[in-house]
Structure 1
Amino acid sequence: MRVIRPALLLLVLLLAACGETTDANAAADAPAVVEDAGSDSSSTVEATTSSVATEEAQGNSFSTEVLPILETKCATCHNDPGPGSIHWSLETVSDAVDEAAFLGDYVDAGVMPPWPAGPLSVAFSNDRGLSPEERATLVEWASSGAEIDIEPSTLVRAAEVESLAEVDATLYPEEPYQGSPDVLDDYRCLVYDPQLTEETWLVGYNFVPDQAEVVHHAIGYRAPASQRERAEAKDAADPGPGWSCYGGSGIGQDELFIGWAPGQVPARYPDGAGLRMAAGDFIVLQIHYHYDLEAPLDNSSLQMDYTSSDEPLTEVQIMPFLGPAEIPCATWQEGPLCDRDAAMAAAIEKYGRAGVRADEANLLCGTRPSDYADMTNGIASSECTLPIYRFGTLVSVLAHQHEIGETFRITLNPGRPNEQILLDIPDWDFDWQFNYAPVEDITLTPGDTLKLECSWDRANQKPGIEPAYIVWADGTYDEMCFATMTVLDD
């Protein structure tokens, strides 16, 4: 069993960052492979000795109340070789008993398991957060002696998760990616090319990490054939497969539609619906690798489920929304890039005008940089209400900021009797970005409005960064206030 003690574990849990990808012609040559679905085998872990009582605990029964929570909310990430197993390996009941005090502390503090959506959000399917009752059960068990009523050697296995109906193609990058342990957090953009020669309907997809212990999370973009040359240029300019990236893919005209973190189930669109993909469309995945000890060669894949029906499908649309991101230097900071014009010029030089959308966001939202000039205490915020022009049913919603993001809220029809907070993230963490799928149908009609509210805190910034006015741009130390809604056309 591997355990990192509280101080170091807390440090690891608080690490966050953003990134985007390198080899010439990777986009043109990346193979699409069809594979039969298989099942992973699990090795038996030798039981550790434990002196804990095996009689039923007075507070609650471990086997009927505690163990199911560990299986559904913890084991997905902490079973070997999950990304959390490097910090705490949960293979047997004795692993939970041995670290019960730490488990109880982190659960009580709300740190684990990670589920950024707060209680003001609508109910989501596959909610990996703990209910108040589940949290109380774990804390009570841990604080009352961590007694168990089954053998300590009993395996703790992740609950079965949903799977794709079919896997028609399994996509890989042109070549596996080899990172370096010298880079603790590595954000890499890699092209996954489905090699489509005609219009195709995607009805489901599933990101499958290869080296699960280092693949922390991934976000994915659909890009049109017109951007292939730009992707190839970025690939060629950066040694190794893909290119280093952060805020977005860096190629422009792409659509963010994939958000994966450990525990995310395969994405399946509603029956009779699909995402239309044109000939030549390709996917760019930004994969966050977190290297604690070593950097194994990774060949993560993307499973694709295409429709086999000749019947026309209802098209799923990806609707982007953006709000301003204007964060002036704090009063205690100074430097040439604290001037907004200088910061904008530097960002445009690095990422091109397509990668710097600060002025566009202000224009869309009717705001000006001067509206944020007084936000010099290290904390800044923005809001923007945008119109919805189409009929549809909400399939999922995804929010996106960078590393100094603090909060994010998305509200449908603010200030109206039918106001509804779709997604509220009270403590933003770039490393846990999900596509959130509402349990109940939420309909959209022309005339509805959507409000984005974002805030940032410079206290979240990594030390040693040159002081700068932060604008809406693709860079690692720039920021965004961006959301997408996946909508089923009505």
Structure 2
Amino acid sequence: MEHTIRRRARWAGTAAAALATVLLAASCGGQEHPATAHGQSAAPGTGTPPAAGAPSGTPGAHGGHGGSAEPPPAAPLRDSERFATLTLPRPYTPKAPSGGTDEYRCFLLDPELKDKAFLTGSQFLPQNTDLVHHAIIFRVDAGQAEKARALDERTPGEGWTCFGDAGVGDGAWVGHWAPGADETLLDEKLGYPMPPGSKLIMQVHYNLLAADGEAGGSDRSAIRLRLADGTTDRDPLETATLAAPVELPCAPGESGPLCERGAAVRDVIQRFGEQSRGAIEGLGQFCGGGTLPKAGPTQRCDHKIDAAGTVHATAGHMHLLGRAIKVELNPGTPGAKTLLDIPDYDFDEQAIRPLDTPVEVKAGDTLRVTCTHDAGLRRQLPALRDLPARYVVWGEGTSDEMCLGLLVWSPSRS
């Protein structure tokens, strides 16, 4: 689980910073389609946005991502690029463990790379959007792939359960899909390295809230890869995650057993495993300077950069109670820059956002992620209003929350 910031993104060299990687595989976790969770319906396949002038934070502002909208046509291939589409070998019927309504399932896919290549774009193709609510694509080497193959063989059914990470240790995040995220092409001189023999692990989050945790059909999703010739020199891309804790009390007028923080934490651990405790408490300690942050709607975390590079694109992720998210470089200094600012967060608009001008970062710089959540939205959203009130902490489920900034960057070669 601790595999993103510590190893790949190189933002911080401390073990504490690596705790934030628990958020990585969960970065799109816990998502559900709010319009379909309780049999509600939005405009077919649209994820209908709020009407003009709708106030921020209304149910419309958090979308109605439902139906089976077709992805947009692929952009034309560029020099030395080719498409390769990988599909799950067989349909998979999800089943949520531990009495929950979410399953994270990992599948090993082989792009059959005999020569070096670069991944310059990807488009996840969800086959059953009633079930599929996020996907993360990890690149693994031959040794990791063998571990994954062995895990797959001893696990009943297609793939293996993988809350929190790919289930086989380190893996490089090279693509993802969440509502509103389609293929985003960056400069042709950029790409994720794909050494010969590289395999992919596709982690899919299935949400079964509408069926009370029972199987509601099968899925056979796919991913379309845009692969470029590895003989052309390109700046290697990496994905960095910047996480902050979530400590959101019940809203005024709400009550119940899960409004007590300890009970809420135990509930998350029961649903997703003991590693969840490390994410909740460890991230809170790291970002709070050794103590848990004060409960409240807005939380932040500063991450020190320990390697120079160039940031090319950003994205932000929260769940249904999210109001706003911001990522800043060196806040409070004369050279401060805002890399991402979403003052009216929409769960159904989680596309990667290329920067107008790439931003150089250097060792010692600070990146700050700040999120604001609103427990009052729980009463307004169809997906949440029938669930028990709870103190919300970091978690991978529908009624949990996250605060995660994503940065697509290329480390300095010098």
Question: With structure 1 as the length reference, what TM-score do the two structures score?
Answer: 0.57
**Alpha-carbon spacing, 1:382–1:208, altered in 2? closer, same or farther (3 Å):** closer
1:364 match: secondary structure: helix
**Alpha-carbon spacing, 1:262–1:418, altered in 2? closer, same or farther (3 Å):** same
Equivalence for 2:393 = 471
Matches of 2:118 and 2:112 in 1, distance apart? 11
**Cα distance, 1:298 vs. partner?**
5.2
Matches of 1:467 and 1:282 in 2, distance apart? 38
Larger radius of gyration: 1
What is the 5 A alignment of 1:44-55?
A: none
**Cα distance, 1:449 vs. partner?**
1.4
Matches of 1:227 and 1:480 in 2, distance apart? 29
Equivalence for 2:405 = 483
Matches of 1:403 and 1:235 in 2, distance apart? 36
Give the alignment partner of residue 89 of structure 2, picking from 152, 174, 177: 174
Give the alignment partner of residue 302 of structure 1, picking from 216, 223, 234: 223
What residue ranges of structure 1 are gaps of 5+ in the alignment? 1-15, 21-82, 90-101, 117-157
Work out whether 1:275 is the aligned partner of 2:197.
no
- Residue-by-residue CA offset, 1:4-53 (whole Å, 9 max, x unaligned): xxxxxxxxxxxx99349xxxxxxxxxxxxxxxxxxxxxxxxxxxxxxxxx
**Alpha-carbon spacing, 1:441–1:231, altered in 2? closer, same or farther (3 Å):** same
| 1:445 alignment partner AA | K
**Alpha-carbon spacing, 1:284–1:413, altered in 2? closer, same or farther (3 Å):** same
Matches of 1:163 and 1:288 in 2, distance apart? 31
Give 1 or 2: higher strand fraction: 2
What is the 5 A alignment of 1:113-152?
A: none
Equivalence for 2:310 = 393
Contact 1:203 1:275 in 2 (8 A): yes
Question: With structure 2 as the length reference, what TM-score do the two structures score?
Answer: 0.65
- Residue-by-residue CA offset, 1:119-148 (whole Å, 9 max, x unaligned): xxxxxxxxxxxxxxxxxxxxxxxxxxxxxx
Work out whether 1:162 is the aligned partner of 2:52.
no
User: What fraction of aligned residue pairs are identical, expressed as a percent?
Assistant: 24
Contact 2:329 2:339 in 1 (8 A): yes
**Alpha-carbon spacing, 1:230–1:307, altered in 2? closer, same or farther (3 Å):** closer
Give the alignment's Cα RMSD to 1 decimal: 4.5
What is the 5 A alignment of 1:237-276?
A: 251=167, 253=170, 256-260=173-177, 266-276=183-193
**Cα distance, 1:301 vs. partner?**
2.2
**Alpha-carbon spacing, 1:226–1:331, altered in 2? closer, same or farther (3 Å):** farther
What is the 5 A alignment of 1:188-207?
A: 189=105, 191=107, 193-194=109-110, 200-207=116-123
What residue ranges of structure 2 are gaps of 5+ in the alignment? 1-27, 33-40, 63-70, 96-100, 211-215, 379-383
**Cα distance, 1:394 vs. partner?**
1.2
What is the 5 A alignment of 1:448-467?
A: 448-461=365-378, 462-467=384-389
Matches of 1:470 and 1:227 in 2, distance apart? 36
Contact 2:116 2:229 in 1 (8 A): no
Work out whether 1:424 is the aligned partner of 2:369.
no
**Cα distance, 1:414 vs. partner?**
1.0
Equivalence for 1:360 = 282
Contact 2:173 2:238 in 1 (8 A): no
What is the 5 A alignment of 1:332-351?
A: 332-351=253-272
Give the alignment partner of residue 314 of structure 1, picking from 207, 212, 235: 235
Contact 1:216 1:290 in 2 (8 A): no
**Cα distance, 1:437 vs. partner?**
1.0
Matches of 1:405 and 1:220 in 2, distance apart? 21
Give the alignment partner of residue 284 of structure 1, picking from 196, 202, 205: 202
1:453 match: secondary structure: strand
**Alpha-carbon spacing, 1:276–1:161, altered in 2? closer, same or farther (3 Å):** closer
- Residue-by-residue CA offset, 1:202-231 (whole Å, 9 max, x unaligned): 332332536598688644231646488679
2:354 match: secondary structure: coil
Work out whether 1:439 is the aligned partner of 2:384.
no
Equivalence for 2:51 = 106
Matches of 2:159 and 2:401 in 1, distance apart? 23
**Cα distance, 1:289 vs. partner?**
8.4
Matches of 2:46 and 2:227 in 1, distance apart? 38
